[in-house]
Chains A and B, each alone.
Chain A
Amino acid sequence: MAIIERPSDTSTEVTAYEPPPVTATSSYGYLRRPVETTGWRSWAFTVDHKKIGIMYGVTAMVFFIVGGIEAWLIRLQLASPDGTVLSADKYNQMFTMHATTMVFLFVMPMAAAFANYMIPLQIGARDVAFPRLNALSFWVFLFGAIFINSSWILGGGADGGWFMYAPNSDVPFSPSNGVDFWALGLQITGIASLVGAVNLIVTCLNMRAPGMSLMRMPIFTWMAMVVQFLLLFAMPVITVALFLLIFQRNYDATFFSVEAGADPLLWQHLFWIFGHPEVYIIVLPSFGIISEVLPVFSKKPLFGYPFVVFSGAAIGFVGWGVWAHHMFASGLGPVSVAVFSVATMAIAVPTGVKIINWTLTMWGGKLQFTTAMLFAVGLIVQFTIGGLSGVTHSVAPSDTQQTDTYYIVAHFHYVIFGGAVLGLFSGMYYWWPKIFGRQLKEGLGKWNFWLTIIGMNMTFGPMHIIGLQGQPRRMYVWTEARAGEGFFNLGFWNLVATIGTFVLSLGVLLWIVNVFVTHAGKNKAPAAPLDPWDARSLEWLTTNPPKPHNFDRTPTVHALDEVFHRKYEDVGEPNEEGIIQHEYVQRATLEELVAEEEANADAHIHLPAPSYWPIILAFSLPVLAYGVIYSTWLIAAGAAIAVMALFGWALEPADAEPTDFDPPSDDGGDSSSKELAHV
C-alpha cells in the first residue's frame, strides 16, 4: 500500500497547501502500514524527508540548550578563583558532556536537518533515495542521544573529555558507568550517521533532476555531500576505537592497559583519524549554507563556484592527512611532527580559497544586510580568526606551548561556534520561510545576531589571553595566587568570559523568542511571499512550505542557479573588447514560475509509504546498549526486537505493487507516473 497523491486540477493560481488525499491499499508483512497524515503518528512513522529534517532540527535545538546549560555551569565555576559551583568530579562530567552534546547532538544533527530538508529540494527530487532508512537515521540518533544523557540520572555522565583518551577512560580512572554510556551512545549515533551518509550520497549522486549535472548542483548540496563522504569513512574508525574501549571496560580486554604492554597512542591515533575529519564534518555544512546566502544577498552569483566546490572536496581529502597535529605533544618523533605540521599548513589553503571566494562574492555586490546575511558575514570574520589561531597550532613548537591550555579552547570555539554555529543560524533565518512559510522577525533577528556575536567574542576572545598565560583547560579551579597582574590578570578575563556566556545565551534566547513571536500571538508574521529573498537555487521553485511531493512537475535544470535564470534574462551585449557585459532583466516572478509548474503538474505522483519499522528498529539499539551495561537479558531482548524489526522491514515492500497505483485517468495521463522509494 502506498500513499497515492493527485495534484489538484490544473488551476493556474497559487493555492494554499492542502494535505493530499490518502488511499490505503493492500498490506504486507506483519503490520498494516500507518496511514495517518495528522497527529503524532504522522511524525513518528513518517518517511518524508522534510518532516524528518524538521525533527532533526527540533531535537538538535533542544540539545543546544542542554549543552548551553552545561556551558553555564562550567563558566560559573570558573568565574572566580577556587570556584565552588561544581565538584571536581561534576566539573569533569560537565565539560565532557558539554562537548559531546554540542558536537554530536547539536551541530551534527542540525547540519543533518538542513541536509535532509534541502538536498532533495535542491536537486529536484521528491524524496531521498531510501526514505525508510532516512527515518531510521533520525530515530537511531534520537534514541542514542537520549541514551547518552540518561547517564545523568544513572550514576553520572562521562568524565574523560570529549576525546576520552584511553587508558584515562579505563575503569580504574573512571569507575562510574558514564564512559560506558558515552561509548555505547556514540556507537548508536554513529549508526545514524553512517546510514544517513549512505542515503544522502546515493540521493546526491542518483536522484538528481534531469539536467542537474554535478557542476550545477547547488553549493550547499555539494558541501553536504562531501560531509557525507567524510562520515562514511570516519565513522567506522571511531566505531573500532569505541568497540575496543567497550571490550576493555566491560569484558576485561587490555587494548589500552599500559601495564599489559599496550600502546597508549593507539586510542589517540584511532580517535583523531576520526576526529579530524569530524572537524570538517562539523564546519563544511555551514560553509555550504553561507555559500548559498552570500550570493543571494549580494545579488551576484557565487564567485568561483568550481573553486568553492573543489576546495571543499580538497578539504575532504587533505582532512585525512592531518590527524596527528592533535598529538604533537605526545612524543610522536620529529619526522611525524614535521610531516603533519606541513600537511596542516597545507589544509589552510583550500579554506583560504573559500574565504577569498566569499569575500569576492560580496565585492561590488548590492549588499542587503538581512539577519541571514549578517550571520554569514559573521561566519567569515569569526571563522577567519579561528583559522588563524589554527595556523599557529600547525607550528609544532608553538603548539607544544599551547597544548591543553585555554588557547586551544579559544581556537576551536571560534572555529565551531564562529564557523559552524553562525552558519547554521544563517541557514535558519534564510530557509525559515521555505520550511515554515513565515519569515522570522528581522528586528529581533538583528538583536539575536549582535548579542550572539558580542557574546561569543566576550566568551571566547579572552580565552586566547588566559590560555597563553598558561591556564590549563579541564582544571576545575584556578587560584588567585597565580592569576597574574594588570592586563593579563586571569581573574578579570575569566569573569569577562563568564559574563560573555550570558550575553551569548541572551542572543540565543532571542532566537527562541523570535520563533514564538513569528508563529504565535497577535503580532505573528504573515505568510511569507514565495520568494522573500529573490533566491537563486532550485528549492525555491515550489510552495512555502513545499508540498509533500516537493515539486508538481519534476524540474528540468538548464543552469547553475536555475531559479535565477528562470526569473532573469541576460540581455548584455559584448563591449568593444568582446567581453559580454551582463545585464539581467526580470522576465518572470517566482509566483508565475510556480504557477506554471502547478499548471503542468505530473499526472500521478507516487510517494513512499510511511512505516512502523524504522522507529521500532531504532528502539532496539538503546535496549541492547543498556544490556551491555546492566544485564545480558536486556541484550537478548534488544536483539529480539531488532531481528523482528529487520524481518518486518524486509517483508514490507518499499515499492508499492503495480496494483497499488491508482487506475489510469480518463485522459490517459498515466504515462508520466512517477515512482519513488526503494528499500
Chain B
Amino acid sequence: MMRMDNLIPVDQLCTHYHVERSFFKGLMEFDLIQVTTIEQTHYLHVDSLHEFERIIRLHQDLYINFEGIDSVLHLLKKIEALQTELSEIKNRLGLYEN
C-alpha cells in the first residue's frame, strides 16, 4: 500500500505555484518529472518537490522551454557528478600533501 502522506496532488501544486495544468502536462510529456497516478489522479512525490521548484524557476526566471530544461538538467547532473568526483579527488590529494 502506497503512503499517501508523501504524495501531493498535481492540481494542488498547480494552484500553489500558480502554474497552468498544461505546464505540468508538458513536464510529464518531456519526462522531466516523475508522477504517481492513483485512480486517475496525478501526484508528485514530496522528494521531487525540490526538482519541480528548480524547473519552475528555470522556466519562469530564465524563460527556458521544456527542451532547454531537459538539456540543462542533464548538464547539471553531469556538473554535480563532476563536483562530487572533484571533491573525492581533493580528499585523496590531501592524503599525499599532509
Q: Do A and B bind each other?
A: no
Chain B contact residues, CB within 8 Å of chain A: none
Please give the residue numbers on chain A whose beta carbons come within 8 Å of chain B beta carbons, in ascending order: none
